[in-house]
Amino acid sequence: MVLGVREIRFSGEPVLDRDNGEELMRVQPGTDIVLGNLPRESPGTLYITTKQVIWVSDVDKTKGYAVDFLSISLHAVSTDPEAYPLPCLYTQIDTEEADDDLSDSESNPIEQDLSNVKEMRLIPSDPTQLDTLFAIFCQCAELNPEPNDDEEEEEHDWVFSADQMVDEEAEDEDYISHNPVNSIGQSNGNHDLARTILELQINDRRFEDAEEMDDNEDGTHH
């Protein structure tokens, strides 16, 4: 997958990759686009699919831009005139690192400019559609999670064996004695969450021992 905005050329409407489950979610005519610091382009038609965002010029219907949802790191409705004069859907875009071999290329200056585009604004002629567009962006973002999410979950899996729990207890004995309950809100990854659970289990055993001692003392006094 290529990160960032890319220029596309085609005839007619965009072709979807239906073999891989790509579906059309929304068509929004009368939408302008602003890519980074490049001039605003209008008018155009916005196509939102389950995989990508596509904008097609109404002036030259063979020209358009596309960006995968995996490249969109943030999206929000912008209505502050100090941020931008018109209400729009604002997005931040992840890009590939610049390639020195391509930096001096003059064959396609437009594509070279797009490689540095990190912001995109979509400006519908009807601003009341912004909330709908935002909701669809949210839905599609959920359909396209970061590829490394599963790997991180496996790497930080906090289901440990009994031996691993014992090793963890031994390594963190000093830490636990000074911090009997670690805030989950301050945890950094699932590893710390496992440590929190371990500490709570240890404290539970201490409470049980304390109760047994109280019962023994009560029995002695009587």
Terminal Cα-to-Cα distance of the chain (whole angstroms) = 77
Higher-pLDDT residue of 106 and 221 is 221
Confidence of residue 204 (pLDDT cuts 50, 70, 90): low
Average pLDDT, the chain: 75
**The tokens 């009560």 sit on which residue?**
218
Residue 50 has pLDDT above 90, yes or no: yes
**The tokens 């014992």 sit on which residue?**
166
Averaged pLDDT, 76-92: 97
CA angle 178, 201, 156 (to 5 degrees): 85
Rounded to whole angstroms, how far apart are CA atoms 181 and 17?
Answer: 51
- What is the enclosing helix (H) or strand (E) of 202? helix 190-221
Contact yes or no for 72/15 (Cβ under 8 A): no
Confidence of residue 209 (pLDDT cuts 50, 70, 90): low
Rounded to whole angstroms, how far apart are CA atoms 160 and 137?
Answer: 37
* 3-state helix, strand and coil shares in percent for the chain, rounded to the nearest 5: 40, 25, 35
Per-domain residue ranges of the chain: 5-10+18-96+114-143
Instruction: Name the least confident of 112-126, 142-156, 200-214.
Output: 200-214
Q: How many CB atoms lie within 10 A of CB 8?
A: 15
CATH class of 5-10+18-96+114-143: mainly beta
- Name all contacts of 93-99 with Cβ < 8 Å and 24+ positions apart: 93/3, 93/4, 93/5, 93/67, 93/117, 93/118, 93/119, 93/120, 94/3, 94/4, 94/118, 95/3, 95/4, 95/71, 96/2, 96/3, 96/4
Residue 29 has pLDDT above 70, yes or no: yes
Residue (of 26, 53, 27, 55) closest to 41 by Cα position: 55
Rounded to whole angstroms, how far apart are CA atoms 35 and 57?
Answer: 14
Residue (of 91, 80, 75, 87) closest to 128 by Cα position: 87
**The tokens 């539970």 sit on which residue?**
204
Confidence of residue 25 (pLDDT cuts 50, 70, 90): very high
Segment 148-159, tens digit of pLDDT: 755 544 444 444
